[in-house]
Every structure is written in C-alpha cells, then in structure tokens.
Amino acid sequence: MPTDRAETTLNGKKFAARGSAKSCQPRGHSPRAQSPANENPAWLFFRRWAANPVSIASITPSAPSLGRLMARHVRREADEIVVEYGGGTGAITKALLDSGIPASRLFVIERDKELHAYMTAKFPGVTVLLGDVKDVRSLLPPQWVGKVGTIVCGIPMILIPAEAQRLIMDEAYAVMPKGRQFLSFTYSLRSPLRRQALHLSGKRLGWAVSNIPPAAVWGYTRD
C-alpha cells in the first residue's frame, strides 16, 4: 500500500539521511558557487528533505504528470489568482504556468529560505512569498484576499496534526470564493485531510501513476 513515507534513493543512488544535509553532499559539489536558479533541482530538493523530512514528504520533486493532473482541475476567473502552497523546486509551478495561468496571477508560498530563493530566481514573473501557509491572509496583498480561484497544495497535509490542519483550512477558505477547491496530493490511498472533522466535501480526482511514488490528487470544497 502506498504511504507518505519518504524514500532514500535519488536518481538511482542511495544516500544516508542521517546527520545534516551537508554530510550528504557529493564529493566536488559546491552548491554555493552558483546562483540559486542554476542549482540542480533534484539535489536541492534532497538537501532540503534531509534538513526537514517532515515538511517535505518525498525525497524527489513531483513528476510532470502530477503537475498536469493538478493543473487540470484549477479554476480561475479573469479577475482571480491561483495560490500554490509549498513550491519546492517548481515542478507543479511549471505545470500551472504551462496550463495557461499567467505568471502575474500565480502566487507561491514557500517557508524554506533556500527553496524560496531558488523559486524566486527560477520564476521571476511569479510572486513567491516567504512564509507559512497558515498566514495566507496576511501574506497575500489585500486586493487578492477573496479572489483566489484555487489553492494548489504541495505540502504533506496527511502528516500535519488535526488542529494545524484546521487552522490551515480555515485560512485557505477565507481567501477563496464560496465553493472553490483546495487541491492536495498524497501517496496514500486515504484522504490527506480529515473531511468530516474539517467540514469538507472531498473526493479523489485521479492518480499520477508515473510519479515516484504514485500520487493521488484530491479536491475539497467547504459549503
């Protein structure tokens, strides 16, 4: 049965996850010698996972198929924006842009400083906000509060405690019009969110079987 437990293999090579991210550094690799946008995204993602495996559930970035599946279910009216939670190294961000969402209408919230710097450099037209998703109302410019067409979540909600889930979801629905979707993916067979406790209607929208590991996308609404 698929789970949200992280693996320890990156591009066919095994790395020890003990110690700091620095202890896992391949010989001859100097991440600080280049600009953030030029850093190898797989290696950056692995380093940030090693530093905080709870916040980053997978050891590798999401596959393009997962990004496309999520983008397929995004709704955005002409006067609305899309917000992505946890940009990582931009796999889902790229899929959202490729689907036709203008960079000026895409906001990404990332709390990891290294990933924030990478995303800011890689996607100069996208607004990348440094902060916690539970503060979405204060992070977004005031004119966009209530004008978020869809929230696309890339953080491992299934690993987040119930009370923290409640806070995140209350804030998410405070910035979206009524009836809009919160999209989340998981490597588990079960819903990543506690639907009954959070007063949500939700269903599995599809599987990205080519993702490693395979991931399901769920869509949630709150009346």
Kindly provide the b/e burial profile for residues 161-189, where b requires at least 16 CB atoms within 10 angstroms of the residue's own CB: eeeebbebbebbbebbeeebbbbbbbbbe
What are the pLDDT digits (tens) for 134-169?
999 999 999 999 999 999 999 999 999 999 999 999
Q: Which domains does the chain have, with CATH numbers?
A: 63-222 (3.40.50.150)
Rounded CA-CA distance 57/88 in Å is: 11
Rounded CA-CA distance 163/22 in Å is: 33
What are the pLDDT digits (tens) for 104-143?
999 999 999 989 999 999 999 999 999 999 999 999 999 9
pTM: 0.76
